[in-house]
Amino acid sequence: MSTVTLTRLKAMKAHGEPIAMLTAYDAGFAYCAEQAGVDLLLVGDSLGTVVQGHATTVPVTLDHMVYHTALVARAAQRAMVLADLPFLSYATPEQAVASAARLMQEGGAHGVKLEGGRDVVAAVERLAAFGVPVCAHLGLLPQSVNKLGGYRVQGREADEARRLKEEALALEQAGADLLVLECVPAALASEITVALTIPVIGIGAGGGCDGQVLVVYDLLGITPGKRPSFAPDFLTGHSDGINGALRRWVDAVRQRTFPA
């Protein structure tokens, strides 16, 4: 068990204490992120793009996720470790349970994250029933990029915004413990954050969420290819290296100066 628990994260939401979540894919970065004070380490399937060099997260397999989760979990002392269920590894509740078992038992994750709204409610219910901490993920869903036709802001139209809010409530009702909101308008993200009792962590979703998450390579300015506009480089121009950059980002999240 980690020192940072779901109870602690809920208390942080209740007290308005911003939560810092950062991706990590190996022991070295997990160690640095913990030293910087992050609450949650996410073994994101973004490793498909930033580590493996693919164009999308679709080629990432459960075996890849188990391997990288084990690297991170070995270094984590304090932070809660969440691992992404990769593309099509949770298409049914049974598959979700089997995949989560591998990430938690072989990988050492404390919980899992999965993308989607209504279609994953049954999987979330089943995971929650068996004691698996679940982080839901709404808004831009990178695993669906081939269907979406690109990476763009979601929830700009009123009906889409309504659907996202309904799905967020349905996921909470189903037993999700956390929600990541990716690339949605700031006003909608704030509205959903207020409507839910579980902590909401934003990425490209403005400053009104309960916490922030970034891909660690983005904030270090070492993204292969184009860095998202919502992820400033916290390393370049400073002399205190990677540890300094990670500390600067965590401090900025805590002080709500990130996102600007």
**Active site residue ranges:** 182
Residue 213 touches ligand KIV, criterion: CB under 6 A: yes
**Total residues interacting with ligand KIV, rule: CB under 6 A:** 11
- Which whole-number Å values give the CA distances from 229 to 101, 197, 219, 244, in the listed order? 35, 29, 11, 21
Nearest-approach distance from CB 239 to ligand KIV, in angstroms: 28
What is the per-residue binding string for ligand KIV in 9-38, x denoting contact by CB under 6 A? Answer: --------------x---------------
∠ CA 130-109-196, rounded to 5°:
65
Token pair listed for 234 = 């916290």
Half-sphere exposure of residue 33, counting CA atoms within 13 Å on the CB side? 33
Residue 65 touches ligand KIV, criterion: CB under 6 A: no
Residue choice 2, 4, 44, 102 for contact with ligand KIV (CB under 6 A): 44
Calpha distance 182→125 (Å, rounded): 22
Nearer to ligand KIV by Cβ, of 81 and 162: the residue is 81
Residues 66-105 that bind ligand KIV (CB under 6 A): 84
Q: Which helix (H) or strand (E) holds 191?
A: helix 186-195
Residue 49 touches ligand KIV, criterion: CB under 6 A: no
Applying CB under 6 A, which part among 6-14, 44-52, 92-100, 154-162 lies near ligand KIV? Answer: 44-52
Calpha distance 38→216 (Å, rounded): 11
Nearest-approach distance from CB 115 to ligand KIV, in angstroms: 8
Residue 127 touches ligand KIV, criterion: CB under 6 A: no
Nearest-approach distance from CB 81 to ligand KIV, in angstroms: 13
Residue 231 touches ligand KIV, criterion: CB under 6 A: no
Our measurement of the distance from residue 167's CA atom to the centroid of its chain's CA atoms, rounded to an integer in Å, reads 17
Residue choice 203, 209, 220, 235 for contact with ligand KIV (CB under 6 A): 203
By Cβ distance, which residue is nearest to ligand KIV? Answer: 44
Plot region of 86 (φ>0 → left; ψ -120 to 50 → alpha; else → beta): beta
Calpha distance 218→47 (Å, rounded): 12
Q: Give burial (CB, 10 Å; 0-12/13-18/19+) of 48.
A: buried
Binding site for ligand KIV (CB under 6 A): 23, 42, 44-46, 84, 180, 182, 203, 213, 215
